[in-house]
Structure 1
Amino acid sequence: MWDLCEAGLTALESLNLDSCQINDDGMENLKGLKNLKCLVLSDTEVGSKGLRHLTGLHNLESINLSFTMVTDCGLRELSGLTSIKSLNLDARQITDTGLAALTSLTGLTHLDLFGARITDSGTSYLKNFKNLCSLEICGGGLTDAGVKNIKELSSLSLLNLSQNCNLTDRSLELISGLTGLISLNVSNSRITAAGLRHLKPLKSLKSLSMESCKVTASDIEKLRSFDLPNLVSFRPEE
């Protein structure tokens, strides 16, 4: 990969390298981009060693590391980048340990852990991210016990807990206080129509997905008609 600084791009604020042929060695060419705010490394061969070249980029606000080779130990390299607001860690090798390494990033507003292997224990670290507006944890490791640590994130507007097949109606009860929610996805869980009553306080809800749950479209339509007038999109649809 060419040296971006030598190419006169030191003022660069956004760089998208999605699916490019960049590895850890190539990451050295990024360390001089002090003005960089947004960096996309998704679907590349970048691993943990490569992240050490980002430690001086203190203006970074958004990093996408989905489908990379970065592991838990590499995430420690990001702990000093407290300007980060959006972080995508959609990768199966990321676990609770990696999440623990990020607790200094208290300014996070968007955290994507879609495919990461986060368990109930790991959700305890979420308390450090009180400004989170968007959270996705869909790796299948959560139960109702883990949702207890999510219910305190009062700034959430988007919550995706799909694919966690052990969630029950209790989870809906736990998040019923997140009245700022606009989008909620709890598909592929054990949630039933009986649990829908817990969603009545979520008056701002516009999108609700409960596919592969024991809930029908008519169940959701009834909830919308009587309690959630702003709900415009829901699944199942029929």
Structure 2
Amino acid sequence: MEVVASQRQSLLSVDISCSEVTDSGLNFLSDCSNMQSLSCNYCDNVSEHGLGVLSGFSYLTSLSFKRSGGVTAEGMRVFANLVNLVNLDLERCLKIHGGLVHVKGLRKLESLNMRYCNYITDSDIKYLSDLTNLKELQLSSCRITDLGISYLTGLSKLTHLNLESCPVTAACLEAISGLASLMLLNLNRCGIYDEGCGSFEVHANTCEFSHM
């Protein structure tokens, strides 16, 4: 990592996924303040303390921490500094419940992946209501109910919404029908039945339903 970081300001993209890099290794990147893309997927040796290096990456537009135990609600405080972030991938990060409060100011965010973040609830989703540039939201297998979906009604640019295996019912369809830009809606393995679907105005080109 010391060799990689020696590029300093000219280093724009780093992918250390599936590596043995630790917090100390990540800290070598602290002088690479022009970084635009960083992927740390499956990096089991990076803790929430290592995330502090991100505070200097104000130009970062893409950040991925798939299946990282180091991303916690407390560690996500540093995300508030990433004002230019467009893509954020937190798939299978199981310790981020309560941390989305630090994302609410990221108004340039267009894609947010929280698939299989099993402890995300309605109280987390309310912090997404002001992310008006959001186009893709992946929430499969989260604990989102109809109340949580109601917080998304102002996301007029949302085109992709994945709620697979979330405990939502047909009651959420009224809120979803107001998402005029929606192109793909995944409701597989949700509690959606015929009753209540009649009031759903379909704006999507592709809607996936599962009648359980």
The two structures have a TM-score, normalised by structure 1, of 0.81
Task: Indicate which of 128, 131, 136 corresponds to 2:130.
Answer: 128
Question: Greater CA radius of gyration, 1 or 2?
Answer: 1
Match of residue 165 from structure 2: 163
Kindly tell me: are residues 180 and 198 of structure 1, through their superposed partners in 2, closer, same or farther at Cα, counting changes over 3 Å? farther
How far residue 16 of structure 1 moved from its aligned partner, in angstroms, is: 1.5
Match of residue 232 from structure 1: none
Match of residue 20 from structure 1: 19
For 1:42-81, what aligned pairs fall within 5 Å after superposition? Answer: 42-45=41-44, 46-69=46-69, 70-81=71-82
CA RMSD of aligned residues (A): 1.7
* 1:155-207 CA distance string (max 9 Å, x none): 1000011111x2111111211011211111111111013444344440xx233
For 1:147-186, what aligned pairs fall within 5 Å after superposition? Answer: 147-164=149-166, 166-186=167-187
Query: Does the Cα contact within 8 Å between 1:80 and 1:104 map onto a contact in 2?
Result: no
How far residue 38 of structure 1 moved from its aligned partner, in angstroms, is: 0.9
Equivalent-residue separation in structure 2 for 1:198 and 1:112 (angstroms):
29
Q: Which amino acid aligns with 2:16?
A: L
Q: Tell whether 2:97 aligns with 1:100.
A: no
Query: Does the Cα contact within 8 Å between 1:17 and 1:41 map onto a contact in 2?
Result: yes
Paired positions, count:
208
Equivalent-residue separation in structure 2 for 1:9 and 1:198 (angstroms):
56
Equivalent-residue separation in structure 2 for 1:156 and 1:99 (angstroms):
18
Pick 1 or 2: higher relative contact order, CA cutoff 8 A, min separation 6.
2
Equivalent-residue separation in structure 1 for 2:21 and 2:147 (angstroms):
40
* 1:10-54 CA distance string (max 9 Å, x none): 412222221111121111121122221111111102221111112
Q: Secondary structure at the match of 1:180?
A: coil
Question: Which runs of no fewer than 5 residues in structure 2 stay unpaired?
Answer: none
Equivalent-residue separation in structure 2 for 1:194 and 1:201 (angstroms):
16
Question: Which runs of no fewer than 5 residues in structure 1 stay unpaired?
Answer: 215-238
The two structures have a TM-score, normalised by structure 2, of 0.91
For 1:139-218, what aligned pairs fall within 5 Å after superposition? Answer: 139-164=141-166, 166-202=167-203, 205-211=204-210, 213-214=211-212
Stretch moving more, 177-186 or 101-110: 101-110
Query: Does the Cα contact within 8 Å between 2:115 and 2:142 map onto a contact in 1?
Result: no
Q: How high is the sequence identity, in percent, across the aligned residues?
A: 28
Q: Which amino acid aligns with 1:122?
A: D
How far residue 94 of structure 1 moved from its aligned partner, in angstroms, is: 1.4
Equivalent-residue separation in structure 2 for 1:206 and 1:47 (angstroms):
41
